Structure 1
Amino acid sequence: MTFLATEVTKRLGIRLPILAGGLMWLSDADYVAAAAHAGGMGFITAASFPEDDQLIAEIARARDLCGGLPFGVNVSMLPKLVPGEKTEDIFRLIADQGVSVIETSGRNPEPYIPLLKDLGLTIIHKVPAVRFAVKAQSVGVDMVTIVGAECGGHPGMDMIGSFVNAAMAGEDISIPFLIGGGIGHGSQIIAALAMGASGVVMGTRLLVSDELNAHSDYKQAIVNATERDTVLTMHTVRNTVRTLANETTQAVAKMEADNPNVTIADLMPLVSGKIGRNAYATGDVSKGLLSAGHALGLTKAIKPMAEIYAQLEAEATAALVRLKSVQTE
């Protein structure tokens, strides 16, 4: 039985309007299967599996673990993650493996829309502001995710909060849209739906799930952190990122403050994704840009994904009851 039937739940064939967004180095078959069995939908990050045979194997593993439940693949179209000349090949590979839903991000998807439509893929394009969602809608994507300034990872340059994004999108977007950024409580799901969204996307809130293949010390650090423990860096190179505050963020902030003309090449020894990947493997969170958003304030314990989703559903149900209590005849 569907809880909160929306365009997202109906089109994707899921019970809850909660998507587990793609997380670099972390979104694998175990992650998406846990989300699927919990009632939502997750996305394998294609860039985490740079060789074709690795991605094919991971999709096959996800299919087995999901047991017929839907999952998708995240494709970052940033050249530094998926080289431009390979992006079309990645899309074809995903479709060939029987996946029907993709989460795209990084740049305007317009050049790829004809191919994606021909491949029969449902396109959920992720953007950091409503103005980009309007553009994505105009070029033919099926759904858009709008992530606010509170999100972990890349909130864009506009830094508009999720609450404002949701209200604006309710006015400007006619295709189904989802809200991300700082989402980690069931009451926020109800608020997003009330403003016109068809669902939400979560990342930070799910970093404490048992099924996430990261060191237990990393997960405990996420539990211990609060909403005040994130930092924005890399604004000077127009690649703003919100991450867990640590030695690396201090060093990057100093480089940016000391040299307004700093380049991404200058920062790379500190911000390389390989450094962050090491933190997930070792549990040492002192180094690397480790994406985390304001939903850190809602990560209270390490739990199975199913329990996290069940808690979100219970919170959403309680929020609906509160709404009904203030309604008048």
Structure 2
Amino acid sequence: MHRSGHAKPTLPELFGTRHPIVAGGLMWLSDANYVAAAARAGVLGFITAASFPDDDELRRQIRTCREQADGNPFGVNVSMLPKLVPGEKTESVFKVIIEEGVKIVETSGRNPEAFIPLLHEAGVKVLHKVPSLRYALKAQAIGVDAVSIVGAECGGHPGMEMIGSFVNSAMALEKLDIPFLIGGGIGHGAQIAAALAMGAAGVVIGTRFLVAEEIWAHDGYKQRLIEASESDTTLIMSSIRNTVRALKNETTDIVQATESEVKDVTIQDLMPYISGKIGRDAYVSGDTRRGVLAAGQSLAFVNKSEPLGDIVESLNAEYIAACERIEHLPGLSSQ
């Protein structure tokens, strides 16, 4: 995939990928095997550091990924939410990344400003993930290299404002000077063409890739995603200002009831249901009835489990077809 005629660099120009696609970091699931498969497929994947809180294991994951990536770029996701990566460990994680020669990090959660000089001095590029434009403008101001704006349709954390990808794209085109990516509900190549047409350097895809063969999760979990539709997600945890879009199941029903019935609900009230360990158990067992299982509205495009490279090739074919349609639209031809 290639785009020309825009002042901002594309994702391939920024990070050396073949396609303008980021495989966003997936908690517990983005390991060396999956991220190396993304690299070989020509997209940019990120090992999730929070999935490997032991520094030595993170080093092993990075080294294994490098061995399997065939020289293609990959990065490490550093979520700076206290519940995932304790504040006192964040700097040590970045030091492991630097020592291992990784040149791209995906940050999310807290403001990464304190770590940007350390990373830039080591030649590491920072892609910061945000839920809406106003946070992207702040990230631009503190010196990140690019931003991912991942909004309302996404699995995981869409933010409190719930602004969708189509609106985020056009606003970012008008307001941002640094390269930006668009995520949230992206699962078809025509959406990639639309995002690039609105000025994005690329897109972020998560849910569409959850059924890749290289994802280690149980086949029963993947089959549930294949059977689901775009309407089979729901929003929880807005009451504690940490909105999550997840697959509908017994856990989301209980959490929504608790949020409705308990006055001044706290995270302690919800923790017996939302603990990350419960979600990880579902990936291991394939029992998707319990756990907060992040999934976005791009479930609409999840229809079978196949190698990640095959999913990317399908997206590329859809992208090319979309570009051909654009060329033939009345009044919009480049000729």
Query: What's the TM-score once normalised by structure 1's chain length?
Result: 0.98
Equivalent residue letter for 2:142: V
1:216-227 correspondence to structure 2 within 5 Å: 216-227=219-230
Residue aligning to 2:150:
147
1:236/1:260 contact within 8 Å kept: no
2:328 corresponds to which of 300, 306, 325: 325
Cα distance in structure 2, aligned partners of 1:229 and 1:200: 23
1:125 corresponds to which of 120, 125, 128: 128
Residue aligning to 1:50:
53
1:8, CA displacement in angstroms?
Answer: 1.3
1:124/1:141 contact within 8 Å kept: yes
Cα distance in structure 1, aligned partners of 2:195 and 2:263: 38
Cα distance in structure 1, aligned partners of 2:271 and 2:151: 25
| Consecutive unaligned residues in structure 1, runs of 5 or more | none
Cα distance in structure 1, aligned partners of 2:85 and 2:322: 41
Cα distance in structure 1, aligned partners of 2:165 and 2:327: 24
1:135-192 superposed Cα distances (whole Å, 9 cap, x missing partner):
0001000000000100000001010001000000001111110000000000000100
Query: What's the TM-score once normalised by structure 2's chain length?
Result: 0.96
Residue aligning to 2:36:
33
1:112, CA displacement in angstroms?
Answer: 1.8
Equivalent residue letter for 1:256: E
Cα distance in structure 1, aligned partners of 2:70 and 2:317: 25
1:20-63 superposed Cα distances (whole Å, 9 cap, x missing partner):
00000000011111111111110000000010111011111101
Equivalent residue letter for 1:261: D
Cα distance in structure 2, aligned partners of 1:317 and 1:311: 10
1:89 corresponds to which of 65, 87, 92: 92
1:3, CA displacement in angstroms?
Answer: 3.8
Equivalent residue letter for 1:147: V
1:244, CA displacement in angstroms?
Answer: 0.2
1:75/1:102 contact within 8 Å kept: yes
Cα distance in structure 2, aligned partners of 1:320 and 1:7: 16
Cα distance in structure 2, aligned partners of 1:252 and 1:37: 39
Cα distance in structure 1, aligned partners of 2:78 and 2:267: 22
Counting matched residue pairs gives 328
| Consecutive unaligned residues in structure 2, runs of 5 or more | none
1:4, CA displacement in angstroms?
Answer: 4.0
1:230/1:245 contact within 8 Å kept: yes
1:92/1:119 contact within 8 Å kept: no
Distance of aligned partners of 1:101 and 1:38 in 2 relative to their CA distance in 1, 3 Å threshold: same
Q: SS state of the match for residue 74, structure 1?
A: strand
Cα distance in structure 2, aligned partners of 1:306 and 1:58: 20
Cα distance in structure 2, aligned partners of 1:9 and 1:131: 25
Residue aligning to 1:67:
70
Structure 1 outlier segments of 4+, above 4 Å: none
1:159 corresponds to which of 149, 159, 162: 162
Equivalent residue letter for 1:270: Y
1:260, CA displacement in angstroms?
Answer: 3.5
Does structure 1 residue 198 correspond to structure 2 residue 201?
yes
1:108-148 superposed Cα distances (whole Å, 9 cap, x missing partner):
11222222222221000000010000000010000000001
2:3/2:196 contact within 8 Å kept: no
1:11 corresponds to which of 14, 17, 38: 14
1:81-108 superposed Cα distances (whole Å, 9 cap, x missing partner):
1111111111111110110100000021
Residue aligning to 1:231:
234
1:70, CA displacement in angstroms?
Answer: 0.8
Residue aligning to 1:112:
115
Distance of aligned partners of 1:4 and 1:213 in 2 relative to their CA distance in 1, 3 Å threshold: farther
* 155-164 vs 113-122, greater mean Cα deviation: 113-122
1:202-243 superposed Cα distances (whole Å, 9 cap, x missing partner):
000000101111101111111100000001000000010000
1:243/1:293 contact within 8 Å kept: yes
1:254 corresponds to which of 257, 273, 278: 257
1:295, CA displacement in angstroms?
Answer: 0.3
Q: SS state of the match for residue 242, structure 2?
A: coil
Does structure 1 residue 215 correspond to structure 2 residue 221?
no
Equivalent residue letter for 1:154: H
Q: SS state of the match for residue 262, structure 1?
A: coil
Q: Percent identity?
A: 59
Residue aligning to 2:103:
100
Cα distance in structure 2, aligned partners of 1:249 and 1:268: 12
